[in-house]
Amino acid sequence: MTSPSEFVRIWDLPTRVFHIVLGLCVLGLFVTGELGDALMPLHYWLGYAVLSLVFFRIVWGLLGGHWSRFVNFVPSPKQVFHYVRSMRRGEHHPNVGHNPLGGLSVLTMLCLLLLQVASGFLTDDEISLAGPWAAWAPPSWVELATRYHTEIGRVLLIVLIVLHVSSVVYYRIVKHNDLISPMLHGDKQLPAQTQHSRDTFTSRLFALSIWIACSFVVYRLVLLGS
Ligand code: HEM
Ligand code: HEM
């Protein structure tokens, strides 16, 4: 007999808001980065916002709702290997939160975003544009960071985002597994006894205060350069 299913909260509101705002900021960063000079102040602000969001997500990965916690989605190499092997065999292993490949891509995304922002802090186009730390960092660092920011990091991010979006579309169309709707409304239809993520008024307020604290840390980091 199969156990009865019900809608279970998997992605708490802070995780979902984080995802939407992060996606919009990153999109804005690519547009303002490519359009150049006049939009650069906005580029910097969006970059600082991304940093505050990544800091928030790191803290939320420790204190957030059950399925947003790192312990519940960061896979071991063995789990990734078994997952890929079972996918190649066409086996279907439903996952409640991120599957092992999804977990790996979340971590990679957070690391690449951190690197992109850190390199932005040190970037200098030697004409009019410079990140807040470029003036006092050793020239060799600035050169390396500028090359990373404008050539390597942005390409890595584009590749990862294209992979990210195409894999959720692949899961939707080929595997008939809709990962997108739960990222929007938070719930998945699962056996009733599945562990749910805490998503109450208090936990949302807690998340907001964490994000405010993270924004303050970013503000202090930016000021370090002046
Ligand atoms: C610049 C654009 C984007 C970035 C930077 C981005 C980043 C991320 C990150 C960091 C997560 C992990 C969420 C968490 O646990 O906190 C995630 C998950 C997810 N994203 Fe995106 N995302 C982007 C665009 C999109 C788009 C356009 C879609 C929809 C087509 C999408 C669908 C999803 C889904 C469904 C998940 C959950 C995957 C799962 O269930 O394992 N993302 N994304
Ligand atoms: C995730 C965050 C970020 C992304 C995705 C991003 C992306 C980009 C892109 C695509 C360009 C255009 C590169 C080119 O066409 O040459 C650019 C340029 C630039 N970015 Fe960012 N950026 C981010 C964060 C930052 C931050 C936080 C700062 C500084 C505080 C910054 C400072 C700059 C500067 C000064 C340039 C001009 C470099 C030049 O023209 O040589 N960026 N960025």
Helices (H), 36-152: 40-63, 77-88, 100-122, 139-147
More confident residue, 24 or 90: 24
Residue 165 in this model has a pLDDT that exceeds 90: yes
Q: Which pLDDT score is estimated for 26?
A: 98
CA 224/CA 226 separation, integer angstroms: 6
Give the confidence band of 128 by pLDDT, cuts at 50, 70, 90: confident
**Ligand at shortest distance from the CA of 22:** 1
Question: 106-115, 126-135, 153-162, 207-216: which range is least confident on average?
Answer: 126-135
pLDDT of residue 91: 78
Per-residue pLDDT, 2? 59
Residue 124 CA to residue 43 CA, distance in Å, equals 14
Helix axes 153-173 and 13-35, enclosed angle (nearest 10): 130
Supply the mean pLDDT for the chain: 94
Q: Is the pLDDT of residue 87 over 50?
A: yes
Tell me the C-alpha to C-alpha distance, in Å, between residue 204 and each of 63, 185, 186, 207, 218.
12, 15, 13, 5, 21
Ligand 2 midpoint to CA 180 (Å): 29
Share of the chain above pLDDT 90, in %: 87
Residue 1 has pLDDT above 70, yes or no: no
The answer to whether domain 5-223 has CATH 1.20.950.20 is yes
Confidence of residue 109 (pLDDT cuts 50, 70, 90): very high
44 lines ligand 2 (CB under 6 A): yes
Name every residue whose Cβ is closer than 8 Å to that of residue 156 and which is 6 or more positions away in sequence: 112
Ligand 2 pocket: which of 45, 111, 143, 149 to mutate (most atoms within 8 A of CB) = 149
Average pLDDT over residues 17-29: 98
pLDDT at residue number 67: 98
Probe residue for ligand 2, chosen from 29, 143, 156 as the CB with the greatest number of ligand atoms within 8 Å: 29
pLDDT attached to residue 126? 84
Indicate which residue's Cα is closest to atom 4 of ligand 1: 23
Q: Model's pTM, two decimal places? A: 0.94
Band (pLDDT 50/70/90 cuts) for residue 90 is confident
Give the residue, out of 30, 93, 183, with the most ligand 1 atoms within 8 A of its beta carbon, to mutate for a pocket test: 183
Domain segments of the chain: what residues? 5-223
Q: Is the CB of 25 under 6 A from ligand 2?
A: no
Closest ligand 1 atom number to CA of residue 171: 35
